[in-house]
Chains A and B, each alone.
Chain A
Amino acid sequence: MSRQSNRTTDSKKMNSELFTLTYGALVTQLCKDYENDEEVNKQLDKMGYNIGVRLIEDFLARSSVGRCQDFRETADVIAKVAFKMYLGITPSVTNWSPAGDEFSLILESNPLVDFVELPDNHNSLVYSNLLCGVLRGALEMVQMAVDVKFAQDSLRGDNVTEIRMKFIKRIEENLPAGDE
């Protein structure tokens, strides 16, 4: 069996599908364990947070990005470096608030929702909520408290997926508060 030519692209695609399918299995399990969608959303956010606080170290070790000077730079790094590195997509950064403390990430495609359809009885499920937790956890580890939520979701009929990020405050350097 020597079909070497398309093997490398195949294996990259498979890796993405492994993650997507595993995420799907996780959400399914959560829906089974919790009766209502709000609980599932909260769990996804919490799990995302736990992943985020570890992911940031992996990110900083592998990218040669230095300290960001301001929130705009942070937004660019998230969209152009982090999303590219981990999910292979580059969302666009738009809709800056006048004060410069809030922006939107617009994702044309969301790898997490490949092969996914939401059934009718899960209308308030934010399927990709893990992403919000990851962003929140990762930024907290670099001293930024942010609020992250989905403004638009392609799974629920919108054209694009939009993540809204708001800067809350700078976290003073002190001892870690304790685990989730």
Chain B
Amino acid sequence: MADEALFQFLHNEVIQYIYKSAEYGEMENGRCITKLENMGFRVGQGLIERFTKDTARFKDELDVMKFICKDFWTSVFKKQIDNLRTNHQGIYVLQDNKFRLLTQLSAGKQYLEHAPKYLAFTCGLVRGGLSNLGVKSIVTAEVSVMPACKFQVMIQKM
């Protein structure tokens, strides 16, 4: 089965490609992030379908989020989410203290401005996964000190 190093290499190359064809500027940066996020979305949808084929129905939203934090994250990133917080009103914050796609980038504040590029795909991945589980959401990420990062999921009532 495909090695996880392969995915990291491919992920980095995808980011390079998307950014290479864009000119410098705020607008372009946003467009690139959107492209990456959309790619992640489609992949997330497909992945979650395959993964939850035989899983029992989820009891509620919180159950879905716990699945994402434990099983989904473990399968994709080989570890669980370290901390899940919620305000019980549709906002969840998933904290990963050693996010695998950032560990090779830096261990601190260096290259902080480039971190969002490496998080966009994963945001899409989560959003896509949730979408196919019947949960509509907006997923954003923030980083202050690498390789720790937080993904914020805002559930949208349909």
Give the residues in chain B near A115, CB-CB below 8 Å: 46
Give the residues in chain B near A17, CB-CB below 8 Å: 46-47, 50
Type the 1/0 row for B70-93, where 1 means its CB is closer than 8 Å to any CB of A.
010011101000000000000000
Q: A15 at the A/B interface (Cβ < 8 Å)? A: yes
Q: When the two chains form their complex, are residues B10 and A22 in contact, meaning their CB atoms are under 8 A apart?
A: yes
Type the 1/0 row for A6-26, where 1 means its CB is closer than 8 Å to any CB of B.
010011111111111111111
Q: B155 at the A/B interface (Cβ < 8 Å)? A: no
Per the bound structure, the CA–CA distance linking A20 and B47 in Å amounts to 10
Q: Which partner residue on chain A sits nearest B44 by CB separation?
A: A21
Q: When the two chains form their complex, are residues A14 and B35 in contact, meaning their CB atoms are under 8 A apart?
A: no
| A to B contact number (C-beta, < 8 Å) | 97
Q: For the complex, count residues of B whose C-beta is within 8 A of A.
A: 34
- Given known pairs A23-B10, A47-B17, A54-B9, the reply for A13 and B1 (CB within 8 Å) is yes
Q: B98 at the A/B interface (Cβ < 8 Å)? A: no
Chain A interface category by residue count? 35 or more
Give the residues in chain B near A18, CB-CB below 8 Å: 2, 7, 43, 47, 75-76
Q: When the two chains form their complex, are residues B10 and A55 in contact, meaning their CB atoms are under 8 A apart?
A: no
- Given known pairs A18-B7, A18-B76, A19-B7, the reply for A25 and B42 (CB within 8 Å) is yes
Give the contacting residue for B2; candidates A10, A28, A47, A86; CB below 8 A. A86
Q: Which partner residue on chain B sits nearest A32 by CB separation?
A: B35
Interface residues of B (CB under 8 A from A): 1-7, 9-11, 13-14, 16-18, 21, 35, 39-40, 42-43, 46-47, 50-51, 55-56, 67, 71, 74-76, 78, 121
Q: What 12 new A-B contacts, CB under 8 Å, besides A51-B13, A86-B2?
A: A10-B51, A12-B1, A14-B50, A17-B50, A18-B2, A18-B47, A18-B75, A22-B14, A22-B39, A47-B13, A55-B6, A58-B5
